[in-house]
């Protein structure tokens, strides 16, 4: 039987734990046992039904924190998988199973990189830390955000945060995320008057009322983006109205929409401009807003420089800085003033059936993480 690398061995152990969000199963214990052996002081932090931990080696700054999550999304129909989702296998060089890319492979690479670094540099500068949650794939209210609040309350700061989200596109290291767009959600209820379709003068059709306003919202140019961010986008994701009958004008219509927004516009401005358009069209409506996260950006700095140089030295490629994609827990860390980057394996199969990653990529990722540690703390 082929001997697995330390990174792959730990990855498989983590993937065998059925840690569907928000449950950690035994993943954090596996990580903590390894970190305590190399001198980390570990603080388990449970908020609600969510397990988190903060681990730190060193008492001074600067602080390089590895951030990530042990929870995974549900598997979907198990019969559609080529392996049992929580019994991972390596086939033709590909590691298949839930969490391979998002993001248990990254977690294992972080731990093994740190073990190697500490062995070579036991008296390193500053501190190494880990901020690990089991509430990233779910509602994300008792995870990283709560740990950050806990740290901020006692004045403990991260200088740099390296998040292990799967950032790569075609080749390991070809893309790192140095920011993310903000995400603002709205649930719009357009109010009308229910009635018979044969007597429209006695009713008020909310669909007809809302259509011109929705068309204007969809056509609106909210901003033009900038060097780091694409233009803000408005997308309607759900529309619902009607009783199911073809002869009844509905009394209300619900519209669910989302803004992915750049640093060129604020949450408040998006709200104000949206409501101005709705009022311009004379709608009677109710509107509930929820903010998933503000945009953040690490345009330059020591962390960007170390990551770009490490990828070039280990992978032999020039990396692209990108702010595309969805949200990540980096949105909770960036407001503290930390430089935040996301660097991990290929993201092509995340959340899919037969999630997979090149097994060799995880060893390469370990080398990249170790090189970043050397550049920042050796």
Q: Catalytic amino acids?
A: 71, 136
- 263 phi and psi, to 5 degrees? -80, 0
Q: Which residue shows structure tokens 């690490």? A: 298
In the sheet that holds 285-293, the strands lie side by side as: 233-241, 252-261, 182-191, 285-293
Instruction: Kindly state the DSSP code that residue 230 receives in the 8-state scheme.
Output: P
Residue 132 and residue 26: Cα distance in Å, rounded? 13
Cα distances from 188 to residues 36, 254, 285, in angstroms, run 50, 6, 7
| Cβ 342 vs Cβ 177: under 8 Å | yes
C-alpha–C-alpha distance, residues 343 and 164, integer Å: 5
CA dihedral 342, 348, 350, 355 (to 10 degrees): -130
Q: What angle do CA 263, 267, 271 make, to 5 degrees?
A: 135
Of the candidates 2, 20, 129, 111, the one whose C-alpha atom is nearest the C-alpha of residue 70 is 20
């Amino acid at each position: 039987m082929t001997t697995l690398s330390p990174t792959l061995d730990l990855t498989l152990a983590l993937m065998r734990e059925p840690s569907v969000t928000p449950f950690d199963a035994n993943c954090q214990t596996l990580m903590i046992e390894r970190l305590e052996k190399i001198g980390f002081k570990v603080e388990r932090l449970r908020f609600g039904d969510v397990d988190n931990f903060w681990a730190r080696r060193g008492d001074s700054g600067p602080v390089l924190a590895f951030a990530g999550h042990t929870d995974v999304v549900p598997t979907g129909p198990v019969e559609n998988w080529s392996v049992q989702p929580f019994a991972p296998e390596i086939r033709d060089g590909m590691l298949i199973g839930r969490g391979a890319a998002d993001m248990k492979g990254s977690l294992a690479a972080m731990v093994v990189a740190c073990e190697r670094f500490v062995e070579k540099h036991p008296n390193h500068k500053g501190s190494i830390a880990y901020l690990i949650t089991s509430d990233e794939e779910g509602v994300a209210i008792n995870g990283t955000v709560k740990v950050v609040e806990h740290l901020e309350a006692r004045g403990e700061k991260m200088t740099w945060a390296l998040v292990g989200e799967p950032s790569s596109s075609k080749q390991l290291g070809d893309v790192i995320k140095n920011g993310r767009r903000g995400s603002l959600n709205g649930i719009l209820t357009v109010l009308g008057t229910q009635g018979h379709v044969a007597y429209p003068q006695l009713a008020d059709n909310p669909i007809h009322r809302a259509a011109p306003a929705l068309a204007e919202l969809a056509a609106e140019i909210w901003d033009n983006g900038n060097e780091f961010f694409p233009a803000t986008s408005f997308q309607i994701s759900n529309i619902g109205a009607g009783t199911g009958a073809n002869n009844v004008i509905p009394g209300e219509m619900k519209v669910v929409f989302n803004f992915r927004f750049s640093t060129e516009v604020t949450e408040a401005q998006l709200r104000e401009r949206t409501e101005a358009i709705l009022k311009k069209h004379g709608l009677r409506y109710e509107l509930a807003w929820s903010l998933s996260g503000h945009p953040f950006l690490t345009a330059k700095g020591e962390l960007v420089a170390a990551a770009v140089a490490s990828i070039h030295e280990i992978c032999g490629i020039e990396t692209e800085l990108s702010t595309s994609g969805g949200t990540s827990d980096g949105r909770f860390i960036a407001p503290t003033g930390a430089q935040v980057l996301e660097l991990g394996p290929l993201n092509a199969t995340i959340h899919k059936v037969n999630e997979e990653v090149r097994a060799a990529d995880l060893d390469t990722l370990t080398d990249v993480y170790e090189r970043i540690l050397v550049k920042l703390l050796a």
